[in-house]
Amino acid sequence: MVVGWIRGHYETQKAALRGLWANKRQLAFQALNLAMICFSALMIWKGIMFLTHSESPVVVVLSGSMEPAFQRGDILFLSNLDAPVEVGEIVVFKVAGRDIPIVHRVLRVHERGLVTRESAPPPVSPLSMVAAVVPANDTAGSVVFLTKGDNNAIDDRNLYAPGQLWLRRTEILGVARASLPYVGMVTILLNDYPILKFVLVGLMGLFVLTSKEG
């Protein structure tokens, strides 16, 4: 029954596409509709980026490092306004050499020139003993951060750029303000199986081109 429905739908779309190809004026009109949909989506995305001050206002959790707070496949909505980032907030950051943003919690906040009990790293290893050193290109008074996944045993220094011990504010894409559970699993599937991207985009384009105006 399902196979019959798919076959019938395929034949319908095939016939509609042939008719569209024969009518060049209708083809141009539908192609314009498709372009307007893409342009509108792009403008909405740019508008959200402007309002949130974030280059990635919506991200998908790709791993289980933040469980149980967030699960793999959850969608996060970010804001990157000028409000200070506090300890305990969940941020999305991107460091040099890594293409995929990381979603982790702020473990410590440190201001250069001011070492407090909260900002000083725990002396559990030689690396931690020198961790209060802030990169030379950071000015006095600048605030830097140390992050960690809730489900990870250690902090994120092994995820930062080589030799980097603290996360700069400019590397934070935004603070998580809201979430939708598991909605992003579609994105994960598309990343795991790239061929599905082309199939999905092709089908969406086909449906738009062959749709009938009311």
Is residue 104 among the annotated active site residues?
A: yes
What confidence score (pLDDT) does residue 191 get?
80
Please state the pTM of the whole predicted model.
Answer: 0.69
Instruction: State how far the Cα of 131 lies from the Cα of 128, in Å rounded to an integer.
Output: 5
Is residue 40 among the annotated active site residues?
A: no
Catalytic residue among 54, 65, 74, 155: 65
For 17, half-sphere exposure in the C-beta direction (CA atoms, 13 angstrom radius) is 12
Catalytic residue among 54, 104, 119, 155: 104
With residue 37 as reference, give the H or E element that holds it.
helix 24-52
What confidence score (pLDDT) does residue 132 get?
41
Q: Which of 8, 17, 59 is nearest to 203 (CA)?
A: 17
Three-class SS of residue 87?
Answer: coil
Per-residue pLDDT of the chain (214 residues), as tens digits, is 666 666 666 667 666 667 666 677 777 777 888 888 889 989 999 999 999 999 999 999 999 999 999 999 999 999 998 888 999 999 999 998 888 899 999 999 998 655 454 445 555 444 443 444 444 455 555 899 999 999 999 999 999 998 899 999 999 999 999 999 999 998 888 888 888 877 887 777 767 666 655 4
For residue range 135-181, list pLDDT tens digits in order. 445 555 589 999 999 999 999 999 999 889 999 999 999 999 999 99
In DSSP notation, 9-20 reads HHHHHHHHHHHH
Catalytic residue among 74, 119, 155, 156: 156
What confidence score (pLDDT) does residue 174 get?
95
Is residue 65 among the annotated active site residues?
A: yes
Q: Give 9's contacts (C-beta < 8 A, 6+ positions apart).
A: none
Bridge pairing between strands 75-79 and 90-93? unpaired
The full set of domains in the chain, from first to last, is 1-52 (no CATH), 58-180 (2.10.109.10)
